[in-house]
Amino acid sequence: MSHRSRRRASLVTVGLLAILLLSACGKTAQGGDADPDQVDAVDVPELGVCRVLTPEDVLQASNATRTLDCSDKHTAQTYAVGQLPAQFEDVSWDDEKLGAFAYTTCSTKFLAFLGADESLVMRAVVSWAWFRPSEKAWEDGARWYRCDIVGGGEQSERYVNLPETAEAMLQGRPQDRWMVCATGEALEGAPRIPCTEPHDWRAATTIKLGEAEDPYPGDRVVEVKTRDFCSTSVGAWMNYPVDYDFAYTWFHEAEWEAGNRRSVCWAKTPD
């Protein structure tokens, strides 16, 4: 959820964590330009390959889009694959525990692949999606997962092209083309765009609200802590101007249970 505020006063905005969609919608389409050999594949997918995926493809639980050479234009790259643990041997294809496993596994490997920490990744224009076997392949015994980095997030209207390899692309000081901004008077519902494009908002900082084992503190506590922290941290990020606008995106219990412990602070700036 996001809110906008003014420091001297202030406002607010709401959003969903892009990476928490995670292709978990339960749809069975296999994406555009499907490769017949991948549609009901039982074997673990190939690591390191690239594809042209769209936001619509990422909403599917399974994906068989044709691979291409990573020197060609692409919006996705497979950075982690593997067999699911034995505990999933007898579960149903759409068991909700699969999503929790994918969040922990793909997000941890995502940080390592990009060379970034949680705060930086939450402020980057890239995100990740995971895919499972088709329902038919599942019935045939397939028990694998696939994690792809994609050039956008939950509110992206389209994905940007990735470099030939996305590995370590956020190491050091990332280029603005990989950092997330938004345009519009209100942050709520505004498409996320690379900061190289004209924008009004920049994701400046994040706040960590708890540890992995902590119970969800409740919506009110999360929102107030986020608001107060963002008011101060955005001011510091902007070098303490007399008057400034800031916004914040915080998340609810479902995202907390999936593993997210951070909120995002936004600075209103044309730069």
Residue 29: its pLDDT value, please? 63
Tell me the residue range of the domain where 58 lies: 2-268
204 vs 233: CA distance, rounded Å = 9
Residue 134: its pLDDT value, please? 97
Residue 63: its pLDDT value, please? 97
133 vs 189: CA distance, rounded Å = 32
Nearest residue to 84 (alpha-carbon basis) of 31, 130, 144: 144
The number of distinct structural domains making up the chain is 1
Residue 23: its pLDDT value, please? 40
Residue 190: its pLDDT value, please? 84
225 vs 264: CA distance, rounded Å = 12
265 vs 196: CA distance, rounded Å = 19
Q: Are strands 12-13 and 2-7 parallel, antiparallel or unpaired?
A: antiparallel
Nearest residue to 260 (alpha-carbon basis) of 208, 205, 192: 208
Residue 17: its pLDDT value, please? 41
Q: Give backbone dihedrals phi and psi of 263, rounded to 5 degrees, phi first.
A: -115, 160
57 vs 53: CA distance, rounded Å = 6
Q: Point out the residues of the chain with pLDDT beneath 70.
A: 1-29, 31-32, 270-271
Contacts of 267 (CB under 8 A, 6+ apart): 201, 202, 204, 234, 237, 238, 244, 245, 246
Contacts of 254 (CB under 8 A, 6+ apart): 20
What order do you get walking across the sheet with 192-194 strand by strand? 12-13, 2-7, 244-249, 262-268, 201-208, 180-182, 192-194
Residue 19: its pLDDT value, please? 39
Residue 86: its pLDDT value, please? 97
Q: Sort residue 213 into left (φ over 0), alpha (ψ -120 to 50) or beta.
A: alpha
Residue 182: its pLDDT value, please? 92
Record the tokens describing residue 261, joined without a space. 């412990």
Residue 188: its pLDDT value, please? 82
